[in-house]
A and B are shown apart, each in its own frame.
Chain A
Amino acid sequence: MFVEAGHYALTLALGLSLVQFLMPLWAATVRDEALAAIAVPAALGAFACVTLAFAALTHAYATSDFSLVNVVENSHSLKPFIYKLTGVWGNHEGSMLLWVLILTLFGAMVALSRRAVPSRLRHLTLAVQGAVAFAFLAFVEFTSNPFLRLNPAPFEGQDLNPILQDLGLAIHPPLLYIGYVGFSISFAFALAALIEGRIDAVWARAVRPWTLTAWVFLTLGIAMGSYWAYYELGWGGWWFWDPVENASLMPWLAGTALLHSTIVMEKRDALKVWTILLAILTFSLSLLGTFLVRSGVLTSVHSFATDPTRGAFILAILVVFIGGGFALFAWRAPLLRQGGLFAPISREGALVANNLLLVTACATVFIGTLYPLALEALTGAKISVGEPFFNATFLPIAMPLLALIPIGQTIAWKRGDLLGTVQRLWAAYAAGLAGALIVFALVRGGPVLALLGIGLGVYLLAGSAVDIFHRAGGGRVAPGVMLRRAAGLPRSAWGTAIAHAGVGITVLGIAAQAWSTETLAVVNRGDLVNAGAYTLRLDAIFPRTAHNYREDVARFTVLRDGRIIGTLEGSKRIYVTRGMPTTEAGIMTLGPSQLYVSLGEPQPSGGMGVRIYWKPYVIFVWLGSVIMALGGLLSLTDRRLRVAAPVAARGRLVPAE
């Protein structure tokens, strides 16, 4: 019953999104704003319907309703309850339903942001949003229907892929999808501006909170995904330049550029056409990411079912929206009024440089990700583009970008004074240099690139501190006054400083990995292995069972200078239903660093093969990203933006009107 209701609601949402898409456009041609306003209840209705459909699927998972194909293929009655719930989006159909749920949620939020967005712009934005929602609802409905029944229903399900049975999965896809889908709002605003033929600071102010929200969630989603891959896959790495990771990095890079160019537009009424282009580009890359992951064209950690109709359908969506977006841009952008002027040495100039470098970095990732696909399609040759390629292309572009951050942060708008700015940052340069030298002295050498990274990281942290210090009038007023002024600075200023400091922390974490160690050993009970300043002793190897898997556990005692610090367990699991083995890494967090143990196979001689990593300051990699996101959130609560925030963002949507 619930299932049919869910399916019905989904179909209803498809119809409502079509109304949301077409009515404002029709209204625009006959100039009838009242007619366009139908988009508002349509958007709210579509969200309510998709929520109902999602609830129905969740109910089926929670009650292990094995009359549903989707539940049979991805669930099991013995699976822990929490994974029954997260399993809803641990498969293709369910994850697309989550995608659409978030899409319609954003649509409903735009519909309700009555105070912030002029009504004409809002209705046109809803129309574009409705078109995207319609396309994806049709995709779910016709190629990925999660509500297909199975008759006769089996007694038991096939269980969820064990590596997806993890709390990381509960958090990673929703965060990532909120990021991807959030950029659809920037895209919809951009197309609406093109249709309307008008773009100004009001537009920029209306769109910035959405871009910022999407960016915050995408940042968290990528960081979460990276940490999940790190501890769940047991390879000890946190970024593999895997096509699917790149698929989420590309919209992040473009979205970061968009975030910064919107600021220029809001403050200085410049870079208008470029901002529109970036908004289209960012969502295009989000769509590309969805296509790469969902169509199965890639061999990757994340490749789900391969189904040609799905691939073709998403490709069609991709072509229509990217092609349509750029065509509209080519046609209407020349009609937009030119933006303001600025000198190259200025905050605007620095932000242009930021945009240029970010987009170029994005382009190198794009080439590295898609070139193998293109080459295979054209010549049949199969190649793999991996870490060395990205190290040789992405890093040389990322480094000057990082070096620019503190300068862009402190230089004045309109006409800046480069020499003065550099002088003001002397403390940051000194701190960076000192940081690199201290590390050099402590570890007695190390790769140049890593030392450069340490220097850059410290410089970024110090640069943010200098920025706040100067904004608060440091050096010119008494310390007490300065502190009061610092506390009174706009939250967006603090947000910027914190986000940029977060970048610094991530850079430090990445650079520190140059000093990580990896030991491959065969151990017997009582054997000692050194990792960093610690020693691991194998105490026991024993079997253990849980309700849906059994495992062989190796327990280590961790010692430092002969003192026992704690124990660490790594295991090899077999998930009973699928008979699938997984490796569960044993991880011990010691301050910001980690010991990481991955088990191999028992050796013919009786020992156990293990791989033991010492990962100094590895936590910084993710901590920095979380701090970046926090900076974004803080900026989002700035009063200037809060006015623009959606009126009823808190949810509990009642069908209005």
Chain B
Amino acid sequence: MTRKQRRLTLIAAALAVLGVALGLVLFAMRDNIVFFYSPTDLEAKAVTPGTRLRLGGLVAEGSVEKGEGQNVTFAVTDTNRSITVRYTGLLPDLFREGQGVVTEGVLESAGLFRADSVLAKHDENYMPREVADSLKAQGLWQHGGKTDAQDGGATAASE
């Protein structure tokens, strides 16, 4: 083979591999990406039940009900709207009423969300960034300590 042919072989091989990779990425992008919503978004955008998504906000005060066999029901609120979340499993260490939380799962019907994982940050003052942003967007954000996510560590629980 001449130098030119060899180079062409190499370029063709490179393009083939990159093409396959691009195909995989696009394919995976379509099915494996999860969008984040606040309770207000969820209602405003009329998300169809059965969609997999992330729901974030504050755990509404007085909403946590622990049932038998590690079943938990609580409400996620952005103080404007709230959605009831059902979850079975261990809750993260910092899961508390009034604290920020992000849950991932499937919307069963309007107002009811079935979570298979619950995330909360591993810090007293922390609020998940998405939650903080959506609260800010609604003008509910208060400064003073809450942004002070000193250091790291998320804790999560999943089914």
Contacts and interface: CB of A to CB of B under 8 A. Distances in A.
A650 interface: no
Interface string A569-610: 000100000111111000000000000001111011100011
Contacts of B152: 161, 163, 300-304
B80 interface: no
Contacts of B153: 161, 163-164, 233, 301-302
A91 to B, nearest CB: 7
B46 interface: no
Interface of B: 1, 3, 6, 9-10, 13-14, 17-18, 20-21, 24-25, 27-29, 31-36, 54, 66, 68-70, 88-91, 93-94, 104, 122-124, 128-130, 133, 147-159
Given A392-B28, A580-B122, A603 B156 contact: no
Interface stretch (A252-260, A382-390, A503-511, A632-640): A382-390
A600 B90 contact: yes
Kindly name the residue among A164, A393, A601, A610 whose own CB sees the greatest number of chain B CB atoms within 10 A.
Answer: A393
Which 7 residue pairs across A and B have the least CB separation, nearest first?
A600-B90, A382-B36, A388-B32, A392-B28, A581-B93, A389-B32, A299-B129
Contact of A344 (B6, B34, B91): B6
A interface: dominant SS: mixed
Interface residues of A, number: 64
A302 B20 CA distance: 33
Given A234-B155, A388-B31, 9 more contacts: A305-B151, A344-B13, A356-B17, A371-B29, A392-B31, A397-B24, A520-B89, A600-B89, A611-B90
Nearest to B133: A382
A161 B151 contact: yes
Nearest to B153: A163
Interface in A208-249: 233-235
Given A356-B13, A520-B70, A301 B154 contact: yes
Interface stretch (A54-62, A360-368, A547-555): A360-368
A396 B24 contact: yes
A247 to B, nearest CB: 13
Given A382-B35, A520-B70, A580-B123, A572 B93 contact: yes
A352 interface: yes
A609 to B, nearest CB: 5
Interface of A: 73-74, 90-91, 161, 163-164, 233-235, 296, 299-306, 341-344, 352-353, 356-357, 360, 363-364, 367-368, 371, 381-386, 388-389, 392-393, 396-397, 520, 522, 572, 578-583, 598-601, 603-605, 609-611
B4 to A, nearest CB: 11
A600 to B, nearest CB: 4
Contacts of A343: 1, 6
6 contacts: A161-B123, A161-B150, A305-B150, A352-B13, A396-B20, A580-B94
Contacts of B24: 364, 392-393, 396-397
A356 B14 contact: yes
Nearest to A605: B68
B51 to A, nearest CB: 13
A389 B21 contact: no
B86 to A, nearest CB: 15
B28 A341 contact: no
Nearest to B128: A299
A261 to B, nearest CB: 13
Given A235-B157, A393-B25, A604-B66, A384 B93 contact: no
A364 B25 contact: yes
A21 B130 CA distance: 42
B89 A611 contact: yes
A392 B31 CA distance: 10
A609 B150 CA distance: 30
B18 A360 contact: yes
Contacts of A305: 148-151
B25 A384 contact: no
Contacts of B130: 299, 382
B122 to A, nearest CB: 6
A522 B70 contact: yes
A360 B21 contact: yes
A442 to B, nearest CB: 28
B148 to A, nearest CB: 8
B70 A389 contact: no
B149 A303 contact: yes
Nearest to B130: A382
Contacts of B3: 341
Contacts of A353: 13
A301 B10 CA distance: 40
A58 to B, nearest CB: 19
